[in-house]
Structure 1
Amino acid sequence: MGSVYLSHTRGNQPVALKMIRREYAGDGEFRRRFQHEVRAAQQVRGYHLVPVVDHDSDGEQPWLATAYVPGLPLDEALRTYGPLPLPAALQLVGCVARALESVHAAGVIHRDLKPGNILLAADGPWVIDFGIARAAEATQLTRSGGFIGTPQFMSPEHGTGADLTPAADLFSLGLIAAVTATGNHPYGSGSALTVATQIANTAQRPPDLSGYPDDLRPLLESTLAADPAARPTPRELADLCERASCRPPRAFDGWLPAPLAAAVGERERRMRLLLAGEGEQPPPGPDQEGPRRTATYVPTQVPGHDQGAPSGDAAVHAAPTQAASAAPATPPPPAYTPSAPATTPTPPSRGRRTPLAIGLVVALAVVAGTAWAMSGDDEKSDAHADAKPSASAPPAAGPSKKAKEEAKQEAKPAKRDYETVFADRPLTIGAPANSLETVDFDAPRVSPQDDIPGHDTELSYMAQWMNFKKATAKSRGTTPQECRQAVDTAPLPAELTRADLMDKNILQKDDVLCTVTSKGNLAMLKITEVSPTGKPFDPPGYSGLLTLWKQPS
């Protein structure tokens, strides 16, 4: 459906930015479906699922952004390192089944589950691209009886054009299980069309599973049933895998073979180097010809917030998503292995804009200064305004020097102190499971629909990070002077990640947060309650009392 770039937010948190193919972008029905399906995908929350964090269906070239997982796609891992040990393969299938349970609970069908859409990371497998393939089926490219998907990992009903149910994903996962554990596809290693035809005829000619390990065969027999109703539910399949692997589902210490674990660790290291701007240039991967590039992601819904190697089709497990109707090929995308620091590319010709150009921005640093009023010039003006005495007139007895100084002090306006706008007003920033929340401390107002203008926003919060638009600090005291001093001398990072909020507990009950608002006021939020969601990947909500002061002029 498009090209994927490693990108990052203004706070240097990595995201995967997918630019949709131009032939889809020109189809109005695709845009409508794309928006609908991505919004549905944003409602899907669960472990082992890479969340969709933003998208744009109205721009010249539609795109979506997800959290970035520094792992290896399963197809790449199988091609380079071979099949996984059976316990690891069973653990992977069990985790993906749990992910499908969350996908299906939200009323979404993945529709294109394949090894290329499963990432292997140090903390387990992660599923990407759930549900969005359906949008492409609305295009002119496929309306004449075509379909979108990967033939070698389709269910029989998908291949024949029948209505799909969540059970279609279970069939695909059964095929993935066979390939992951043994490297052998149950329907052979022929061309995509040959394999797809055999899958479509599975009711008449079921696959021969006799050569698969005894611990794997029951899983394959149940998931590869021709009748969708005979296939297990995701929960049943996950339980089966846990019993067969003899491993807790979330025990990932040493879950990958050492060479594969080292490759994952190397990818994490390179990503950190890239984000740190250290500019290491890695060697090209097996499917690359040159250095890879990065972009800077700009969320469309956060005004003012700047924010894998393509799989080959030489092997069955690396087969790409295909449309039945031929479509112009998209140039190989710059992939996500870190390279030298990103630089602005040469501007494209007027007739063609590159997808990367959409993602490149320049971050502007805003420097706040303090103006000091000097009284010396005023004194000189007053002196020149005095009339010179006549030469014949006797010198007048003027006021004494002390009297002049007292008069001058009285003439100066009194220095204004901090003025309270409101005090201890309750404010709750909810846990943003499926949306972006924005906060305007001046109003005060919290919007879970992200409809506060960017120039009025001091804080934005979503599943992956909390972003401070203005310098924000923890204050040791609650006076406005202490609050302002903390902002000036010890600001927090501009962005707190989910790990910062959930694992490191950077924000806790009784913390005092201070910031200067977009309107120049001083805001202080005393956190009175932290509300965990109980879900492993959803950060907590925060309640507190907000005080706002006008600052001295």
Structure 2
Amino acid sequence: MIIGTGSVLAPLEPHDPRETAGYRLIARIGEGGMGTVYLSHTRGGQPVALKLIRREFGQDPDFRGRFEQEVRAARRVQGYHLVPVLDHDTTGPLPWLASEFVPGLSLHDALSAYGPLPLAAVFQLIGCTARALGSIHAAGVVHRDLKPANLLLGAAGPYVIDFGIARAADGTQLTRTGGVIGTPQYMSPEHALGAETTTASDLFAVGLIAAVAATGRHPYGEGGATAIGVRIANTDRLPPDLNGYPAELRPLLERCLTPDPAERIGTDELAAMCELFAGQPLNDFDGWLPEPLGLEIARRVRAAENPPAPTVLDSGGAGGAGAGAAAGAGAAAAAAAAAGGFGPAGTGAGTGVSGAFAGVHDADTAFAPPRPAGPPRPSAATPAPPAPAPAPKGFRGGLVAASLVVAVLAGAGTVWLLDEDGSGDDAKAPAARQENPAASVSGSPDPAPASSASSAPKTSPSASAPPKAAYTVVFQDKPLTLRAPSSSTGTHVDLDAPKVVPNGRIGEDKEMELTYHDWSDAGLVFLTATGKSPGSTPEECKDAVGTNALTSKLTKDQLHEGKELTKGTVLCTVTSDGNLAMLRITEVVPNKGNFRPAPDYVTAVTLWKTG
């Protein structure tokens, strides 16, 4: 990824759009083979990373269909240490998707600049990655491109990023000859050979990442991406060299880097192993990174709070035209927001970053050649801008072209699509596949999370309830994570969707059922009557609203004590749309820090239409 010098953001260039689908674009985050990523904000002020897909993909109808399917799969994923996809569209001239954003540093960039991590930090990194993969896999998705560039390091821990659109490119003109999208030096053997990838493939990649993060040395030796990929593909004959790795790390590497996918460690066991060897809870991130690395992340947070101004043209006439176009785009964005769109209402750069997530993060393309001179042709949705003049002194605006090199795996007949630096298609978000552990079926309906059946509470019929035929299931056990809000913000929840709107503000909770806020007397506020249910049938749920209602607010201290809301609690309410909603708490996760912080709640939501 190419970014501004010494910063996480780069100014918008004259040919960049200023608005997309109601989102005001503020700065560039990066660019790669699949598209360009921009900083924007939602109407509530939440920072998002909006990825605008390249024209050659957007013009392929097969890509659009797969893009829609795979991003919908990615939007099912909820959990910790993940960067969720919030919004997307496939109907406009160019497809796009929006993810939550906070600045951070990719593991790839951190290792390049600061060297290997301390072993304790490696165990925390891998343990949290395992937990994130558990949530991804539970939603029926396989990442398929896990690598250091797709792990983001932040002050609040690591995040797995870039899952959702890679598989969408698998049938375009770029790959119809049997190509495999991915990064050879972090593929599993089965992936490198072009065979079916499952959840176990991600665990092989985790082992490779752990080895490199701890020592800077790849278990399959030195060389280019193709050479390492060939060795991985032939791991039955050329096993990884684990000599010289720390003794504490060897069990993890051995359990991940086995040729047989069925023998690899699972995500839960891996997380438990890492927590044991880390010597502290995985969610304790006080000083978890070396000081120089922590200071750099803090600097990036500050830089993101004051994004750079757009690059302007030197000549007065052209500059005025560019400024007018930008102002018009800003006005259009404000108008779209005022009309009730999802996009921002011209909140601008002053909003700052106040979330715990990072956006879609393109992998590094630092060794790719500069983009040819001259801007790309504007899309049909964006008015043609004036011809660009040279950028201001001190800023190099050259970005990466989507150059591809084809490498043929010796003896296997597999074609890999690589960037010129050999790192794979860095701009794509990797796989959001609807996948069972045993097989992958593309195009299947969205499945419910794998864990929902086993964790659901037992049900019992209600003698006085109306007949079951009065309730129609809209959706069942949809995962939803309710995070404790950051300072002076509120996390609003719409159970009819269901969706979470984090970092919102007072007065923005219309048509919501509850809000988790941190202003005034902080706590959890129920905006519709909400009761505790003894079971999970719609009859019990409806009865609980009228006979076992909670107070309209639970304070932060009450939540911290953990008496009112515990694992297994079933909350029910009649929503603002007149539906019956059940929110089942599957996990309560304490947060460390001062002033008795409230916990996070991992939940599953079921919605019924009544009548």
Normalising by structure 2, what TM-score? 0.53
Instruction: State whether residues 510 and 527 of structure 1, in contact with CA within 8 Å, keep that contact through their aligned partners in structure 2.
Output: no
What SS does the corresponding residue of 2:179 show, helix, strand or coil? coil
Match of 2:385, as an amino acid? P
| Among candidates 244, 268, 280, match of residue 247 of structure 1 | 280
| Matched residue, 2:167 | 134
Matches within 5 A, 1:429-448: 448=496
Question: Aligned pair 1:7/2:48, yes or no?
Answer: no
Match of 2:95, as an amino acid? P
Instruction: State whether residues 131 and 268 of structure 2, in contact with CA within 8 Å, keep that contact through their aligned partners in structure 1.
Output: yes
| Among candidates 171, 196, 201, match of residue 234 of structure 2 | 201
Question: Aligned pair 1:505/2:553, yes or no?
Answer: no
Change (3 A) 1:71 1:432: farther
Change (3 A) 1:121 1:472: closer
Give CA-to-partner distance per residue, 1:368-424, whole Å, 9 cap, x none. Answer: xxxxxxxxxxxxxxxxxxxxxxxxxxxxxxxxxxxxxxxxxxxxxxxxxxxxxxxxx
Matches within 5 A, 1:7-46: 7-46=40-79
Change (3 A) 1:167 1:331: farther
What SS does the corresponding residue of 1:7 show, helix, strand or coil? strand
Deviation at 1:528, TM superposition (A): 3.0
| Matched residue, 2:343 | 306
Instruction: State whether residues 270 and 280 of structure 1, in contact with CA within 8 Å, keep that contact through their aligned partners in structure 2.
Output: no
What SS does the corresponding residue of 2:268 show, helix, strand or coil? helix
Change (3 A) 1:246 1:504: farther
Change (3 A) 1:472 1:245: closer
Deviation at 1:435, TM superposition (A): 11
Aligned partners of 1:229, 1:541: CA distance in 2, in Å? 29
Matches within 5 A, 1:512-527: none
Deviation at 1:20, TM superposition (A): 1.6
Deviation at 1:330, TM superposition (A): 10
Deviation at 1:310, TM superposition (A): 5.3
Aligned partners of 1:4, 1:158: CA distance in 2, in Å? 27
Aligned partners of 1:498, 1:463: CA distance in 2, in Å? 9
Change (3 A) 1:472 1:109: closer
Match of 1:8, as an amino acid? H
Instruction: State whether residues 94 and 237 of structure 1, in contact with CA within 8 Å, keep that contact through their aligned partners in structure 2.
Output: yes
| Matched residue, 1:53 | 86
Change (3 A) 1:77 1:330: farther
Change (3 A) 1:508 1:529: closer
Give CA-to-partner distance per residue, 1:145-182, whole Å, 9 cap, x none. Answer: 10111111111111111011100000011111011111
Match of 2:525, as an amino acid? Q
What SS does the corresponding residue of 2:97 show, helix, strand or coil? strand
Question: Aligned pair 1:90/2:123, yes or no?
Answer: yes
Instruction: State whether residues 109 and 131 of structure 1, in contact with CA within 8 Å, keep that contact through their aligned partners in structure 2.
Output: no
Instruction: State whether residues 41 and 343 of structure 2, in contact with CA within 8 Å, keep that contact through their aligned partners in structure 1.
Output: no
| Matched residue, 1:170 | 203
What SS does the corresponding residue of 1:508 show, helix, strand or coil? strand
What SS does the corresponding residue of 1:196 show, helix, strand or coil? helix
Aligned partners of 1:39, 1:88: CA distance in 2, in Å? 33
Aligned partners of 2:242, 2:275: CA distance in 1, in Å? 21
Matches within 5 A, 1:407-486: 448-449=496-497, 462-466=500-504
Aligned partners of 2:588, 2:166: CA distance in 1, in Å? 27
Aligned partners of 2:291, 2:495: CA distance in 1, in Å? 46
Deviation at 1:135, TM superposition (A): 1.3
Aligned partners of 2:298, 2:141: CA distance in 1, in Å? 32
Question: Aligned pair 1:528/2:565, yes or no?
Answer: no
Change (3 A) 1:43 1:312: closer
Deviation at 1:243, TM superposition (A): 1.4
Give CA-to-partner distance per residue, 1:486-528, whole Å, 9 cap, x none. Answer: xxxxxx9xx9x9874699736636999xxxxxxxxxxxxx983
What SS does the corresponding residue of 1:147 show, helix, strand or coil? strand
| Matched residue, 1:112 | 145
Question: Aligned pair 1:70/2:132, yes or no?
Answer: no
What SS does the corresponding residue of 1:15 show, helix, strand or coil? strand
Give CA-to-partner distance per residue, 1:456-508, whole Å, 9 cap, x none. Answer: xxxxx62435577xx569xxxxxxxxxxxxxxxxxx9xx9x987469973663
Deviation at 1:17, TM superposition (A): 1.0
| Matched residue, 1:184 | 217
Match of 1:306, as an amino acid? G
Change (3 A) 1:447 1:242: closer
What SS does the corresponding residue of 2:306 show, helix, strand or coil? helix
Instruction: State whether residues 188 and 205 of structure 2, in contact with CA within 8 Å, keep that contact through their aligned partners in structure 1.
Output: yes
Q: Which has the higher contact order (CA 8 A, sep 6+)?
A: 2
Match of 1:94, as an amino acid? G
Instruction: State whether residues 119 and 125 of structure 1, in contact with CA within 8 Å, keep that contact through their aligned partners in structure 2.
Output: yes
Instruction: State whether residues 56 and 63 of structure 1, in contact with CA within 8 Å, keep that contact through their aligned partners in structure 2.
Output: yes
Instruction: State whether residues 515 and 525 of structure 2, in contact with CA within 8 Å, keep that contact through their aligned partners in structure 1.
Output: no
Normalising by structure 1, what TM-score? 0.59
Match of 2:76, as an amino acid? Q
Aligned partners of 1:51, 1:107: CA distance in 2, in Å? 15
Match of 1:200, as an amino acid? A
Structure 2, gaps ≥5 residues long = 1-33, 312-325, 345-359, 376-381, 388-398, 400-475, 483-493, 530-549, 555-570, 572-582, 590-599, 606-611
Change (3 A) 1:247 1:118: same
Aligned partners of 2:516, 2:243: CA distance in 1, in Å? 45
Change (3 A) 1:9 1:148: same
Aligned partners of 1:211, 1:272: CA distance in 2, in Å? 43
Aligned partners of 1:137, 1:332: CA distance in 2, in Å? 29
| Matched residue, 2:431 | none
What SS does the corresponding residue of 2:87 show, helix, strand or coil? strand
What SS does the corresponding residue of 1:206 show, helix, strand or coil? coil
Change (3 A) 1:314 1:193: farther
Identity of aligned residues (%): 49
Give the root-mean-square deviation of aligned CA atoms: 4.3
What SS does the corresponding residue of 2:112 show, helix, strand or coil? helix
Aligned partners of 2:218, 2:374: CA distance in 1, in Å? 27
Match of 2:134, as an amino acid? E
| Matched residue, 2:9 | none
Change (3 A) 1:77 1:31: same
| Matched residue, 1:523 | none
Aligned partners of 1:61, 1:270: CA distance in 2, in Å? 29
- Decide which structure has the larger Cα Rg and report it: 1
Aligned partners of 1:449, 1:77: CA distance in 2, in Å? 38
Aligned partners of 1:16, 1:498: CA distance in 2, in Å? 24
